[in-house]
């Protein structure tokens, strides 16, 4: 796993956006996996800038999002579809029909989830999956105890996630208790994983995920099983990494062309 420690959230966001942009430049019909939440907002802002100012072309790109709250229609202010439209899709030239966010209102969630997996397969699989990490160590909404082989399914959110996400809603009781989430197994099939992590509240979860044992109690630890995962971390989130000097040494050598 590559761990890239950045001095600021802005630097982290630009570096992560560069990885996405390089892929889209070399493979214009790339299949991108996206996450929502605060962590990738800067990355999306930078992708929008690259489109606007440097003509980065998303017209042939297909996208799949990780998750959606059960019960929220696409046009709900806190739906993840709305989040993606507002933070990215409305600002780039992606074809709306090629953007996929799980439906939170499917009458049969099970059939929907199987269909979502099939759509990903039919698109040729995900080339690059963007991830954040929850303070309980989750990726997507794969809460502690989720099988590392799990597939897209309906999940129940933990109390911790409800607390963390209450900031986006008027009150905690408005946060949906369930979500449709890609599984850890689904995520691991992406050809490349890119995680963005910022802020001191993420430091314990990040250290557990990348330096602790692989465990379903910290589903982000599954990144250790992936042959091509890169994690962009800001200074605050890197605070509890034991191997920090080593990661920085590797980056220094990479910059020097070693």
Stretch that binds ligand F6R, among 4-12, 49-57, 137-145, 146-154 (CB under 6 A): 137-145
Q: Which is nearer to ligand F6R, 214 or 254 (CB)?
A: 214
Name which of residues 138 to 167 contact ligand F6R (CB under 6 A). Answer: 138-140
Q: Which of 51, 138, 164, 235 is catalytic?
A: 138
Can you tell me the distance from the alpha carbon of 229 to that of 206, in angstroms, rounded to the nearest whole number?
Answer: 14
Smallest gap, in angstroms, from Cβ of residue 135 to ligand F6R?
Answer: 7
Stretch that binds ligand F6R, among 51-59, 115-123, 133-141, 235-243 (CB under 6 A): 133-141
Q: Which is nearer to ligand F6R, 42 or 109 (CB)?
A: 42
Q: Which of 46, 117, 127, 136 is catalytic?
A: 136
Return all residues near 90 (Cβ < 8 A) that are at least 6 apart: none
Query: What tokens were used for 197?
Result: 């992590």
Q: Nearest-CB residue to ligand F6R?
A: 132
Stretch that binds ligand F6R, among 14-22, 52-60, 132-140, 149-157 (CB under 6 A): 132-140
Q: Are strands 128-131 and 229-234 parallel, antiparallel or unpaired?
A: unpaired
Return all residues near 204 (Cβ < 8 A) that are at least 6 apart: 135, 240
Smallest gap, in angstroms, from Cβ of residue 157 to ligand F6R?
Answer: 10
Name which of residues 18 to 47 contact ligand F6R (CB under 6 A). Answer: 35-39
Return all residues near 64 (Cβ < 8 A) that are at least 6 apart: 31, 32, 33, 34, 100, 116, 119, 120, 123, 126, 182
Name which of 43, 61, 45 is nearest 53 in CA terms: 45
Name which of residues 172 to 231 contact ligand F6R (CB under 6 A). Answer: none
| 245 in catalytic set | no
Q: Which is nearer to ligand F6R, 133 or 175 (CB)?
A: 133
| 46 in catalytic set | no
CA distances from 97 to 32, 61, 89, 93 (A): 14, 11, 11, 12
Q: Which is nearer to ligand F6R, 29 or 201 (CB)?
A: 201
Decide if residue 137 touches ligand F6R (CB under 6 A).
no
φ, ψ dihedrals at 113, nearest 5°: -65, -40
Q: Which is nearer to ligand F6R, 109 or 132 (CB)?
A: 132
Name which of residues 51 to 70 contact ligand F6R (CB under 6 A). Answer: 66-67
- DSSP state letters, 201-236: GGHHHHHHHHHS--BTTBGGGGGGG-SSEEEEEETT
Stretch that binds ligand F6R, among 107-115, 130-138, 233-241, 249-257 (CB under 6 A): 130-138
| 138 in catalytic set | yes
Angle at CA of residue 28, ends 25 and 34, nearest 5°? 90
| 26 in catalytic set | no
For ligand F6R, the binding residues (CB under 6 A) are 35-39, 66-67, 132-134, 138-140
């Amino acid at each position: 796993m590559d761990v890239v420690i950045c001095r600021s959230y802005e630097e982290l966001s630009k570096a992560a956006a560069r990885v996405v942009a390089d892929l889209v430049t070399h493979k214009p019909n790339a299949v991108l996996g996206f996450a929502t939440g605060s962590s990738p907002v800067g990355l999306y802002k930078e992708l929008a800038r690259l489109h606007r100012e440097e003509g980065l072309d998303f017209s042939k790109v297909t996208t799949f999002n990780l998750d959606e709250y059960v019960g929220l229609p696409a046009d709900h202010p806190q739906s993840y579809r709305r989040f993606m439209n507002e933070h990215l899709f409305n600002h780039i030239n992606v074809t709306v029909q090629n953007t996929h966010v799980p439906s939170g209102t499917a009458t049969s969630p099970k059939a929907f989830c199987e269909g979502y997996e099939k759509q990903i397969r039919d698109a040729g699989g995900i080339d690059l999956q963007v991830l954040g990490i929850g303070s309980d160590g989750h990726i997507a909404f794969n809460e502690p105890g989720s099988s590392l082989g799990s597939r897209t399914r309906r999940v129940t959110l933990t109390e911790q996630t409800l607390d963390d996400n209450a900031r986006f809603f008027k009150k905690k009781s408005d946060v949906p208790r369930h979500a449709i989430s890609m599984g850890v197994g689904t995520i691991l099939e992406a050809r490349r994983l890119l995680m963005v992590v910022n802020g001191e509240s993420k430091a314990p979860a990040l250290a557990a995920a990348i330096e602790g044992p692989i465990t379903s109690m910290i589903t982000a630890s599954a990144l250790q099983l992936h042959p091509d995962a890169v994690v962009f971390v800001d200074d605050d989130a890197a605070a509890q990494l034991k191997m920090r000097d080593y990661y920085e040494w590797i980056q220094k050598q990479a910059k020097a062309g070693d």
